[in-house]
Structure 1
């Protein structure tokens, strides 16, 4: 395989995942495992070998961690390993922190935790607005 820098130089302007907007300097990316949706080399999931992604769970309970396997590089569908973490907000983030510490890139660790905490925050039920009772006119 060629280096990730060479792959980035080839695909950075011609990727089908680029989303450019008017009056925005940094283009966005629609890659499946992308952590920040910014089109840059650091967070690109197509060129790096060691990739981790966070997705919301279908049952709205926790999140799904998706990792690229290093063994089946040429079979993209089979190379994704998915597992769900759903045991309370603090416990799930602690589990994810231990997974990420065990061999993931140091520069992207905070982005993984931020995305997971944003998913947990979005699943939390919102409290409805309290209305004051109307006084009856006598």
Structure 2
């Protein structure tokens, strides 16, 4: 039995929901910028290309609470069941970063899924992994000039 397809196109969904949807965030600063909180939006930009809810094929990369990286994709086969059409692959905190890059790149390129999102997906993984690394302690700044001279006198 072939999978049923919906009669509604992605373009129509976008045209109807682009001005009002649950993920839309508008900011007056910066010339009236529009952002998206959609978990399947890689760059948080409000546009049709990145809107995960409007496209049958979408990719999302999120950080989890315990240091994992979760890569979510949508199955294009059953758009009429949105609760069942997401597949999430989780990479642990000890997984090599290059292995995650390869997994994300392969996921977006397989069978022509969304090769146009490959670069953004890998960049998102890179940013998440960078944010999960422990912060390096900044070296203590040395006093210079008069303050250095005063500190030297105190030590004597």
TM-score scaled by length of structure 1: 0.86
Contact 1:26 1:38 in 2 (8 A): no
2:65 corresponds to which of 58, 70, 73: 58
1:31-70 matches, cutoff 5 A: 31-61=38-68, 63-70=69-76
2:130 corresponds to which of 121, 125, 130: 121
Give the superposition deviation at 1:32.
2.1
Count residues in correspondence.
Answer: 137
Contact 2:70 2:91 in 1 (8 A): yes
TM-score scaled by length of structure 2: 0.77
1:1-138 matches, cutoff 5 A: 1-23=7-29, 24-61=31-68, 63-86=69-92, 87-102=95-110, 103-131=112-140, 137-138=155-156
Supply the distance in 2 between the matched residues of 1:72 and 1:58 (Cα, whole angstroms).
29
Query: C-alpha root-mean-square deviation of aligned residues, in Å?
Result: 2.1
Structure 1: which 5+ runs fail to align? none
**Greater Rg, structure 1 or structure 2?**
2
Give the superposition deviation at 1:20.
0.9
Structure 2: which 5+ runs fail to align? 1-6, 143-150
Supply the distance in 2 between the matched residues of 1:106 and 1:93 (Cα, whole angstroms).
14
Contact 1:52 1:67 in 2 (8 A): yes
Supply the distance in 2 between the matched residues of 1:39 and 1:73 (Cα, whole angstroms).
21
The structure carrying a bigger helix percent of its residues is 2
CA 104–74 in structure 1, closer or farther in 2 if over 3 Å, else same: same
Give the superposition deviation at 1:58.
2.7
Give the superposition deviation at 1:114.
1.0
Contact 2:63 2:128 in 1 (8 A): yes
CA 132–115 in structure 1, closer or farther in 2 if over 3 Å, else same: closer
Any idea what SS the aligned residue of 1:49 has?
Answer: coil
